[in-house]
Each structure stands twice: as structure tokens, then as C-alpha cells.
């Protein structure tokens, strides 16, 4: 890595960089035949602003530039990792792990016993990556009502729910 990674709460001025990173990271899905995911774009500015103002958005900075970001939610009384995106030019340098660690620390500080996420089961930088970070599959019959509703919503948006999975990191 060229320099140290600094992870901190995002500010409104970071939103354009966050969107650019999400679009660049999304292009990786086209390389594995998931064009619809690649074409999905970035979170809307107003949506990201709500995360930023709610202190549930973090950026990873290296060499005075935003290289990745993460968003967190709360579902069913647990922290939820909504998004982690790293600029592909800065991938495989531990930035994603640092962001996940920061969200896990936030969840712990909020008193949550676990951190959940929804991800693609077999995409190498999704399910297998999170498994290496300690997340385990969370079967559908163990989902709380809010996370189950989010899974249904993903299906309504056209995502293949069979290719996706819920995962959980125990924090206690």
C-alpha cells in the first residue's frame, strides 16, 4: 500500500467520491457476466446524505483521497452492513477489511450482538470474502422480519435471491 489507511465518518463533501467508487466497483460485476448489477449505478445523493447525517457512513482515505466507503443500517435489533465499496484501483490492500472492522466496531458500540449483511453467495469478493472475515451464512428461517423483508425487496428489484445469502458476524 502506498500509505496508511485512515477510516473516518463520511462528510457530505465525500458523497460524489462515494458514488464514483460504487460505480467503479460495480463494473467488476460485468466481468463475471452480471451486467445488470454492473449497470445498477450508485446510491442516490439524498440516500447517501441520510447515512452521512445519521453517522452511519464511513470513508477510507489513502494519500488524501477517498478509496472506499461503507454504510450501516439497523435491522431486527442488529447492525447491518448495507454497503462496502472499494475503488478497484485500490483493491486487495485491506481497505475493505478496515471498513468492515469499523462498521463492526460501530455495531459493538451501539450494543448490537451481531452484524448482518446480504451478499452474492458465490462472487469471490462477496460471500467468500465475508466468510474469510468471520461472517457465517444466516439461513432464511433464522432471519428476523426486517431482514426477511429486505430479502424479499431484493427479489422484487430483480435480484436472483437464490444467488444471494444473508450472513452474520457474531460480535459477542
Q: What is the pLDDT along the chain (172 residues), one digit of tens a residue?
A: 468 999 999 999 999 999 999 999 999 999 999 999 999 999 999 999 999 999 999 999 999 899 999 999 999 999 999 999 999 999 999 999 999 999 999 999 999 999 999 999 999 999 999 999 999 999 999 999 999 999 999 999 988 899 999 999 999 8
SS3 label, residue 45: helix
* Alpha carbon distances (Å) from 153 to 111, 123, 128: 27, 20, 23
| CA atoms of 78 and 111, how far apart (whole Å) | 9
Domain interval for residue 58: 6-170
Q: Is residue 81 part of a domain?
A: yes
| CA atoms of 168 and 113, how far apart (whole Å) | 10
- Residue 101: phi, psi to the nearest 5? -60, -40
Q: Is residue 1 part of a domain?
A: no
Question: What distance, in Å, lies between the first and last C-alpha atoms of the chain?
Answer: 31
Q: How many domains does the chain fold into?
A: 1
In this predicted structure, what is the pLDDT of residue 1? 46
Q: Is residue 115 part of a domain?
A: yes
| CA atoms of 5 and 170, how far apart (whole Å) | 25
In this predicted structure, what is the pLDDT of residue 2? 63
Q: Is residue 107 part of a domain?
A: yes
* Alpha carbon distances (Å) from 95 to 7, 62, 85, 165: 9, 9, 9, 23
Q: Is residue 83 part of a domain?
A: yes
Q: Is residue 31 part of a domain?
A: yes
Q: What is the CATH number of the domain that holds 20?
A: 3.40.630.30
| CA atoms of 102 and 21, how far apart (whole Å) | 18
User: Is there a contact between 114 and 104 (Cβ–Cβ < 8 Å)?
Assistant: no
Q: Is residue 163 part of a domain?
A: yes
pTM, full prediction: 0.95
User: Is there a contact between 40 and 26 (Cβ–Cβ < 8 Å)?
Assistant: yes
The residues that bridge with 79 in the sheet, in sequence order, are: 74, 115
User: Is there a contact between 148 and 140 (Cβ–Cβ < 8 Å)?
Assistant: yes
Q: Is residue 59 part of a domain?
A: yes
Nearest to 31 by CA among 124, 160, 157: 124
Cell numbers placing 41 = 449505478
Amino acid at each position: 500500500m502506498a500509505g496508511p489507511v485512515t477510516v473516518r465518518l463520511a462528510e457530505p463533501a465525500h458523497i460524489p467520491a462515494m458514488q464514483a467508487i460504487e460505480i467503479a466497483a460495480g463494473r467488476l460485476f460485468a466481468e463475471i457476466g452480471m451486467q445488470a448489477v454492473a449497470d445498477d449505478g450508485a446510491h442516490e445523493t439524498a440516500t447517501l446524505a441520510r447515512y452521512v447525517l445519521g453517522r452511519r457512513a464511513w470513508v477510507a482515505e489513502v494519500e488524501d483521497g477517498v478509496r472506499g466507503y461503507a454504510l450501516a443500517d439497523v435491522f431486527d435489533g442488529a447492525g447491518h452492513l448495507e454497503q462496502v465499496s472499494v475503488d478497484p484501483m485500490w483493491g486487495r490492500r485491506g481497505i475493505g477489511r478496515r471498513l468492515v472492522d469499523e462498521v463492526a466496531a460501530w455495531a459493538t458500540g451501539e450494543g448490537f450482538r451481531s452484524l448482518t449483511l446480504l451478499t452474492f453467495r458465490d462472487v469471490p469478493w462477496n460471500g467468500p470474502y465475508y466468510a474469510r472475515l468471520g461472517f457465517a451464512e444466516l439461513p432464511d428461517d433464522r432471519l428476523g422480519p426486517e431482514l426477511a423483508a429486505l430479502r424479499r425487496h431484493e427479489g422484487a428489484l430483480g435480484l436472483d435471491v437464490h444467488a444471494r445469502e444473508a450472513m452474520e458476524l457474531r460480535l459477542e
